[in-house]
Amino acid sequence: MWRRCLLSGMAVWLAATTPALAFIAYVSNEKSNTVSVIDTDKWTVIATIKVGQRPRGIEFTRNGKFVLVAVGDDDKIEVIDTATRQVVDSLPSGPDPELFTQDAAGKTLYVANENDNTVTIIDLENRVRLGDIQVGVEPEGMAISPDGKILINTSETTNMAHFIDTATRQIVANVLVDARPRFAEFKRDNSELWVSSEIGGTVSIIDPVKRTITGKIEFNIPGLRREAIQPVGIAITRDGKTGFIALGPANRVAVVDATTHAVTKYLLVGQRVWHMAFTPDEKYLLVTNGVSNDVSVIDVSAQKVIKTIQVGELPWGITFAQP
Amino acid sequence: MIRWLVGVVGLGVVASHAFAADPIDIRVGYLGQVGIKSKLSLVEQPSENDGIAGARLAIEDNNTTGKFLNQRFFLEELRLKDGEDVAKAARALADRNGFIITDLPADTLLKVADALRDRKTVLLNAGVIDDRLREQDCRANVIHVAPTRSMLADALAQYLVWKQWKRWLLVVGSHDADKLYAEALRRAATRFGAKIVGERIFEDTGGARRTDSGVTLIQRQMPVFTQAAPAYDVLVAADESEVFASYLPYRTWDPRPIAGSAGLVPTSWDAAQDQWGAIQIQNRFIKSNSRRMTARDMQAWTAARMIGEAISRTNSGDPKAVFDFLKGPDFSVAAFKGQRLTLRDWNLQLRQPILLVDGRMVVSVSPQDGFLHQTSELDTLGVDRPETKCKLN
C-alpha cells in the first residue's frame, strides 16, 4: 500500500515539478543523536550533523543563520551554524528541554522543560537565561500568538493550555483540554488556537480571545482502534483554510478543513508520525516518521504523499529556513 | 456535615485570577498494612514507603494542576496492625476522606468495602491482584487499579506464544497465592494456544531467605529439581510467595529460559520503563524519593491521578459525582503506557498494557500485535465481559 502510494506519487511529482527553489530542512533524530539536512531540490539528505543526546525540538532562528536544537538528555539547547553545519554554541535551558518557540523579532526564546514544571526564558542575543515561569506538570507544547502578546504552553499531565502574558510573564488563563496535550498552533490571523491531545485523541479548537474551547476535532479511521489515534504535530496553511495533523501510531496525517473543522482525508505516511513543517512556498509538507526512520513529503495542493526520504534513527522534529 | 464536599460546578475553563469561591479541598486516605513482605532478591526488597510514595507524587502532581483550578489535595496515611478492627479503622478514615486508596489483602479489602457500603466513599484498590475481587466477590464501591492475576498471566502467555515458546514446564509453589497464579497461567495457556507439558510443585519447607552460604546449596538443589522434565521451551514459575522462583535462572537442568515469577516477569510497572514520556515520571519519582519506582508505587500513583483527573473534569469534590464520572464513558487517564487507560464498566477494573521485564530492561509490552478484540485490545488481557461473574449492586 505504502509503496504503491509512493510510486504513483513519484510519477505525479516527476511530471509536475520543474526546477524550483531549493529549500533546506533540518530534521532531529532522537535516537541517533544527529540532525539530518534535507535539500528539497534533490529530496535527499545532503549532510548529517552530530549533536548532543536526544535531540527533539528544532527551529531556525529568525535570521536563518542558526538552527536551535533541544538536546534533552544534555539539559541544553545547541546552536548549529547553518554556514558550517556544526554545533557552535549552546543555550542554558532548564533540565530536559523538549519544545521551544521564539518571538517574532527572534530576540527571546521560550523553552518547555519537562522535568521541573517550568518554562525558561532565554535572551537569544546575549544567550543568557532571563528567568522561569512555573506551569503545570510536564510542560511540552509551545506557541506564541501572532501579535506576540500571548505565549501558550501545554502541560502533559496537568492537561492544560496555559496562557502566559509575554510582557508580565504571568499566567493569565488556563484552558483544560484532553489528556496529554503535546502541541499548540495558532492560525495566522489569531482567530483560533489548536491544541493536540495525544492520549485524549482529539484536537481542541480554542478561541484565543475568550480563552474557551469552541470545538474539537475527532478522528475516526475504519479498522483502527481508538487508542492508536494519537494526535501530535499540527500545521495550518497561511490562509487558515487547511490544517494537517499528525496522528502518531495511526501512521496517518489527517487533512482538516480548517473552517468547518471536519476531517476531509487521511494520508498514509510512515510509522509513528510526529511533527511537520511546510516548505516556505507551502507547496510541500514534510512530516517525520519516528519508527520507520523516514520523512514523508506531502504535496499540499494535491493532498498526496509523493515521496519518502530516509533520515537518521527515530526522526522527531523538523524545521525550514524562511527565505 | 462534610464541608469540603460542597463543590463549585463550573465549565472546566478557569481564569487563574478569577477565583471568587473557596478552594475545593479533596481528602484522600491511603489504607495499608504494617510490615513488608520479604523478597528473595535483596535488590527487590521493597522500601518502607513502597506504594504510598507513588500516591504522594500523584497528590503533588494533582496540586500543581489544582493551583490553576482552585483545588487542593491532601493525603492521610493509615496502616492497619495485626488484629486491629478493620471495619472500625476504615470507617474512621472514611469520616475524614471521601476517597481511599487501598493496599490490602483480598479478605481485608472486602471487610473495608462492606463496612463502607452505605457511604459515598470511593475505594481504589492499588495493591491486590486477586481475580475474585473483580468476579464473584466484586463490590460496587471498589475500583481496581492494580491489574489482575489473569491479566498478568495473559500478557505473559501472549508474548511466549508470539515467541513460539509454546511448551511450558509449570512449577508451582505450595502456598495459596502460588496456586491461584498457576490457575491463571493454565487458563492463559489454553486461551492462547500454549501447552503445559509438565507440572511440578515446589514445597516450601521453611527456612531463612538470607544465609551466608546459600548459593552453594541452591546450585545443587535447582538442577536436580528440574531434572528429567519432558521436552519444554520455557519454564514458567508461579511463586508469588517468594520461595524459589528467583533461584531458577541459570540453574535448570536443561538450558531453558524462565518466566512468570522470575526471569521474564509480567508487571504493571518497572523502573526500567522509559517509553511514552515515562522517563519524566521516573525522574520525578527518583528526585523526591531517592529510590526507583516500583509497580506498587505506580498503581498508587495512577489511583491518585485518577481521582485528580476526574476532579479536574467535573470540578467537583463530591465523591459521588467523581465516581459517576470515573464510571462513565468520558473518563480516561494517561499513565505513561502509550495509550489511554479506561475502566471496564462491568467490574470497575482499569484496562492497562502490561510490561514484560527481566529486571534490567522492558523486554516487551502486551497486548501483543495480532491479538484482536472487538472493543479494546486491552480486553484480550484478563477476564472479559462475556465471561464475568461480577454483578455490581
Digit-coded pLDDT (tens) for A241-266:
999 999 999 999 999 999 999 999 99
Which of A9-18, A32-41, B380-389 has the weakest average pLDDT?
A9-18
pLDDT in tens, B123-177: 999 999 999 999 999 999 999 999 999 999 999 999 999 999 999 999 999 999 9
CA of A295, closest CA in chain B: separation in Å?
21
Same domain, B260 and B209: yes
CA of B281, closest CA in chain A: separation in Å?
8
Those residues of chain B whose CB sits closer than 8 Å to some CB in chain A are 11-17, 61, 64-65, 68-69, 277, 280, 283-284, 305, 309, 312-313, 332-334, 338-340, 376-378
Q: Identify whether B119 is part of a domain.
A: yes
CA of B25, closest CA in chain A: separation in Å?
17
- Average pLDDT on A1-13 reads 50
Mean pLDDT of chain B: 92
pLDDT in tens, B308-335: 999 999 999 999 999 999 999 999 999 9
Residue B12, pLDDT > 50, answer no
**Rounded (10°) CA dihedral A246, A247, A253, A256:** -80
Residue A120 pLDDT: 93
With beta carbons under 8 A apart, name residues in chain B contacting A115. 280, 283-284
- Average pLDDT on B3-16 reads 40
Interface probe, candidates B70, B325, B340, B351, chain A, greatest A C-beta count within 10 A:
B340
Do B333 and A162 make contact, defined as CB atoms within 8 angstroms? no
Q: Which of A155, A199, A249 sits opposite B340 (nearest CB)?
A: A199
Q: Identify whether B318 is part of a domain.
A: yes
**Rounded (10°) CA dihedral A280, A281, A283, A289:** 0
Final residue in a domain of this structure, among B219, B247, B267: B267
Residue B355, pLDDT > 70, answer yes
Same domain, B159 and B294: no
**Grid cell digits, residue B10:** 463550573
Q: Give the number of other Cβ atoms within 10 Å of residue B135's Cβ.
A: 18
Same domain, B170 and B119: no
pLDDT band, very low/low/confident/very high, at A94 (cuts 50, 70, 90): confident
Q: Which of B13, B61, B283 sits opposite A176 (nearest CB)?
A: B13
> From residue B290, how far is each of A80, A248, B51, B282 by CA, in Å?
36, 34, 14, 11
Regarding predicted confidence, which is higher, A224 or A239?
A239
| % chain A with pLDDT above 70 | 93
Residue B206, pLDDT > 90, answer no
Same domain, B274 and B255: no
Residue A14, pLDDT > 80, answer no
pLDDT in tens, B80-123: 999 999 999 999 999 999 999 999 999 999 999 999 999 999 99
pLDDT in tens, B222-236: 999 999 999 999 999
Interface probe, candidates A153, A227, A251, chain B, greatest B C-beta count within 10 A:
A227
Residue B211 pLDDT: 66
Do B332 and A117 make contact, defined as CB atoms within 8 angstroms? no
Do B309 and A159 make contact, defined as CB atoms within 8 angstroms? yes
Alpha-carbon gap, residue A185 to A233, rounded angstroms: 9
Residue B4, pLDDT > 60, answer no
Do B312 and A138 make contact, defined as CB atoms within 8 angstroms? no
Residue B19 pLDDT: 54
With beta carbons under 8 A apart, name residues in chain A contacting B280. 96, 114-115, 138, 156
Do A115 and B332 make contact, defined as CB atoms within 8 angstroms? no
- Domains assigned to chain A: 1-19+219-318 (2.130.10.10)
Q: Which of A117, A200, A249 sits opposite B64 (nearest CB)?
A: A117
- Average pLDDT on A72-77 reads 92
Q: Which of A114, A174, A180 sits opposite B16 (nearest CB)?
A: A174
| % chain A with pLDDT above 90 | 85
Q: Identify whether B302 is part of a domain.
A: yes
Same domain, B28 and B114: yes
Q: Enter the ipTM.
A: 0.81
Alpha-carbon gap, residue A230 to B332, rounded angstroms: 14
Same domain, B10 and B121: yes
Judge whether A199 and A219 are in contact, CB under 8 Å. no
Same domain, B289 and B244: no
Do B16 and A171 make contact, defined as CB atoms within 8 angstroms? yes
Q: Identify whether B371 is part of a domain.
A: no
- Average pLDDT on B181-200 reads 98
Judge whether B194 and B200 are in contact, CB under 8 Å. no
Residue B15 pLDDT: 44
Alpha-carbon gap, residue A252 to A148, rounded angstroms: 32
Mean pLDDT of chain A: 92
Alpha-carbon gap, residue B159 to B369, rounded angstroms: 9
Interface probe, candidates B14, B63, B64, chain A, greatest A C-beta count within 10 A:
B64
- Beta sheet of A193-197, edge-to-edge order: A181-186, A193-197, A202-207, A212-218
Q: Spell out the long-range contacts of A35-39 with Cβ–Cβ below 8 A and sequence spacing 24 or more.
A: A35/A67, A35/A69, A35/A80, A36/A311, A36/A312, A36/A315, A37/A85, A38/A286, A38/A295, A38/A309, A38/A311
Q: How far apart are the first and last CA of chain A?
A: 36
Same domain, B252 and B135: no
Q: Any idea what the CATH number is for the domain that residue B258 is in?
A: 3.40.50.2300
pLDDT in tens, B35-61: 878 899 999 999 999 999 999 999 999
Do A136 and B64 make contact, defined as CB atoms within 8 angstroms? yes
Q: Identify whether B117 is part of a domain.
A: yes
Same domain, B110 and B209: no
Q: Identify whether B358 is part of a domain.
A: no
Alpha-carbon gap, residue A276 to B351, rounded angstroms: 32
Closest CA to A273 of A236, A239, A226, A305: A305
Alpha-carbon gap, residue B192 to B198, rounded angstroms: 17
**Is the four-CA dihedral B348, B352, B354, B359 of positive or negative sign?**
negative
Placement of cell 537565561 in the chain: A129
Final residue in a domain of this structure, among B267, B300, B325: B267
Alpha-carbon gap, residue A112 to A93, rounded angstroms: 9
Do A179 and B305 make contact, defined as CB atoms within 8 angstroms? no
With beta carbons under 8 A apart, name residues in chain A contacting B339. 199, 227-228, 230
Residue A225 pLDDT: 83
Structural domain range at position B260: 150-267
Same domain, B14 and B86: yes
Placement of cell 513488608 in the chain: B36
> From residue B87, how far is each of B75, B120, B134, B200 by CA, in Å?
20, 16, 21, 40
Those residues of chain A whose CB sits closer than 8 Å to some CB in chain B are 96, 114-115, 117, 136-138, 155-160, 162, 171-176, 179-180, 198-201, 211-213, 225, 227-228, 230, 249
Closest CA to A172 of A204, A150, A198, A195: A150
Number of A/B CB contacts below 8 angstroms equals 84
Do A160 and B68 make contact, defined as CB atoms within 8 angstroms? yes
Burial of A145 (0-12, 13-18, 19+ CB in 10 A): middle
Final residue in a domain of this structure, among B232, B267, B302: B267
Domain count, chain B: 2
Residue B13, pLDDT > 50, answer no
Residue A20 pLDDT: 56
Q: Which of A115, A213, A228 sits opposite B280 (nearest CB)?
A: A115
Residue A90 pLDDT: 94
Residue B37 pLDDT: 81
Q: Identify whether B102 is part of a domain.
A: yes
Same domain, B132 and B222: no
Same domain, B66 and B84: yes
**Grid cell digits, residue A193:** 488556537
Q: Identify whether B381 is part of a domain.
A: no
Q: Give the number of other Cβ atoms within 10 Å of residue A106's Cβ.
A: 16
Which of A98-107, A202-211, B121-130 has the weakest average pLDDT?
A98-107
Closest CA to A139 of A120, A122, A123: A120
